[in-house]
């Protein structure tokens, strides 16, 4: 666990078994192993390796998001972006020799899924100053004297107006006003910030995401905007990370 790998093609990503040898995590890499587990029975009892679809179904269950968040040291309120999970079973020869280990890797990826090379060690990264790379933030556009309801997803290392705090709700009749949405998000924001009250200069800035006919409120926090020019920040507002006002 903790080994780093360089996976650069979709075919390597989709391979059933390990497609790349380990590289030093200090060197450029795109994937890091966050969990090693075993194929469960009854699949493990087969003499020949099961097919790709069966293995992918099982390994998708084994390489779970909860295990990944634990590896990253992500708290309950830490929203992440650009993380993709890949799972690799033993090769056919190794399987016939009795190997049943499954390797779970996490990749840092761009929006279109292309893996991004990094030199970061992802173990515990969400608790450290480099977490902004993986945190989900929103960039909203100025509309009149305020900001748009929705925003573009960006990593928090890019200029943004709000930071996701991993609390999403359906937009129902009880949350039609900004005040109602802020009230719903406030406890989660305080949990995210580790504070009893909102610090000065930080406000609640939930975004409304529309997918088809579904409207979702995504709770977020951001810097207080001046009336004349909306400001952006880079970095994270999480207590462990650093931020810069833009």
Chain positions contacting other proteins, by CB under 8 A: 8-12, 14-21, 46, 51-54, 57, 91-92, 109-110, 112-115
Q: Residue 135: which residues within 8 A CB-CB, separation 6 or more?
A: 78, 79, 80, 81, 126, 155, 156, 163, 164, 236, 238, 241
In angstroms, what is the minimal distance from the CB of 229 to other proteins? 36
Least separation in angstroms between CB 222 and other proteins: 30
At its nearest, how many Å lie between other proteins and the CB of residue 111?
9
Q: Between 43 and 198, whose beta carbon lies closer to other proteins?
A: 43
In the complex, least distance from residue 113 CB atom to other proteins, rounded to whole angstroms: 4
DSSP SS3 for 202 = strand
User: How far apart are the C-alpha atoms of 152 and 164, rounded to whole Å?
Assistant: 12
Q: Pick the closer one to other proteins by CB: 44 or 224.
A: 44
Could you tell me the smallest distance in angstroms from the CB atom of residue 174 to other proteins? 36
17 or 67: CB nearest other proteins: 17
Nearer to other proteins, 54 or 172 (CB): 54
Residue in 120, 102, 96, 144 with CA at minimum distance from that of residue 16: 102
| Cβ distance to other proteins smaller for residue 6 or 203 | 6
Sign of CA dihedral 168, 170, 175, 176: positive
Structure tokens belonging to residue 237: 């507002």
């Amino acid at each position: 666990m903790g080994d780093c790998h360089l996976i650069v093609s979709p075919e390597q990503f989709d391979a059933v078994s390990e497609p790349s040898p380990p590289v030093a995590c200090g060197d450029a890499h795109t994937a890091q192993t966050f969990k090693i587990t075993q194929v469960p029975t009854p699949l493990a009892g087969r003499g020949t390796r099961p097919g790709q679809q069966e293995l992918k179904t099982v390994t998708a269950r084994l390489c779970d998001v909860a295990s990944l968040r634990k590896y990253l040291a992500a708290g309950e309120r830490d929203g992440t972006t650009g993380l993709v999970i890949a799972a690799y079973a033993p090769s056919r020869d190794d399987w016939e020799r009795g190997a049943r280990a499954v390797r779970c890797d996490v990749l840092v990826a761009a929006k279109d899924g292309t893996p991004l090379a990094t030199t970061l060690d992802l173990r515990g990264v969400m608790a450290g100053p480099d977490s902004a790379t993986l945190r989900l933030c929103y960039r909203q556009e100025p509309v009149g004297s305020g900001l748009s309801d929705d925003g573009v997803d960006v990593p928090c290392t890019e200029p943004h107006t709000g930071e996701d705090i991993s609390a999403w709700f359906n937009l129902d009749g009880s949350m039609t006003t900004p005040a109602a949405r802020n009230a719903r998000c406030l406890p989660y924001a305080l949990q995210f910030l580790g504070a009893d009250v909102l610090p000065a200069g930080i406000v609640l800035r939930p975004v409304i995401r529309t997918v088809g006919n579904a409207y979702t409120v995504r709770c977020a926090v951001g810097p207080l905007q001046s009336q004349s020019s909306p400001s952006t920040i880079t970095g994270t507002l999480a207590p462990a990370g650093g931020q810069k006002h833009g």
